[in-house]
Amino acid sequence: MVHLLLKLQKQFFEAEGYLVVENLLTPEEVDYYSTLYNSFLANKIDASRYRSDLSGANGEIEKITQIMVPSRLLPELLEKPFHQQSLQIARELLGYDINLDFDMMINKAPYTNTITPWHQDVAYWTDMPDKRAVSCWVAIDPAIKENGCMWYTPKSHLHPPLTHVQTANKGALKCEGSEAGSVCVELKPGSCVFHHGGTLHYSRGNSTANHRRALITNFRPVSMIALERERGIDHTGERKVKADG
């Protein structure tokens, strides 16, 4: 079997809690996802059930559009390169019992200048006996500081989770975090970054004239996905604050 990752990359992920993989997708593949993404944003594919503004704002313009589980509406996505290759890398990082839990789209609209607050993904999830979890965030547009590329706090996944609170109007969860001591990950379209479920991260707002579109897959052990489903959790959009710690 062909491995996509080097041993050193896996070691980097384990130590730092994130890993950049350049050129996961070809320019042609990025074009495919770009067209599809725009169909979702323009409601040509009706995702209204799974769509919300992560900023918590209720205005006419969505600042941070979040569309959960796009592959439920378009199952063919599961067979396409992003899902297939991010799954393979997730397995190389965390083990061969890992599978897709959910996917999502997060877009920052032009000139909306709204941060995604510092948080750890574990704060969104029910507590799991097996804590292995990894997300893959692929840039569909160039992701730069000015439009809201991701920032990570290295090694933060090695500590107990921080206390989170929910921002207004069922907006995103947030905790304490800082750009100082964190790493800014600018990406070309088609390049991606993996982060552990415990890694502290955030993004600045989009102060540019263009969209900042990202497609995200999230992976965890098959047995933990089954446990989540037993508990009624399918990541279609509900947002709950987990107990502290």
Ligand X SMILES: O=C(O)CCC(=O)C(=O)O
Residue from 9, 86, 114, 116 touching ligand X (CB under 6 A): that is 116
Contact criterion met (CB below 8 Å) for 159 and 97: no
Number of residues forming the site for ligand X (CB under 6 A): 10
Of 188-207, binders to ligand X (CB under 6 A) are: 201, 203
70 binds ligand X (CB under 6 A): no
**Dihedral over alpha carbons 149, 78, 242, 226 (to 10 degrees):** -160
Q: Which amino acid is at 5?
A: L
Select 85 or 147, whichever has its Cβ closest to ligand X.
147
Residue from 21, 106, 185, 215 touching ligand X (CB under 6 A): that is 106
Burial tier of 3 (Cβ tally within 10 Å: 0-12, 13-18, 19+): exposed
214 binds ligand X (CB under 6 A): yes
Q: What DSSP string runs through 11-39?
A: HHHHHHSEEEETTSS-HHHHHHHHHHHHH
Cα–Cα separations (whole angstroms), residue 192 to 11, 108, 131? 17, 17, 22
CB of 229 to ligand X, least distance (A): 21
| Residue recorded with tokens 């996509």 | 4
CB of 239 to ligand X, least distance (A): 13
Select 28 or 100, whichever has its Cβ closest to ligand X.
100
Mark residues 18-37: x for contact with ligand X by CB under 6 A, - for none: --------------------
Of 142-161, binders to ligand X (CB under 6 A) are: 148
121 binds ligand X (CB under 6 A): yes
CA distance 63 to 86: 27
CB of 157 to ligand X, least distance (A): 13
Residue from 216, 217, 219, 224 touching ligand X (CB under 6 A): that is 216
| Residue recorded with tokens 């990950």 | 185
Contact criterion met (CB below 8 Å) for 211 and 33: no
Residues in the chain, total: 245
137 binds ligand X (CB under 6 A): yes
Where along the sequence are the contacts to ligand X (CB under 6 A)?
106, 116, 121, 135, 137, 148, 201, 203, 214, 216
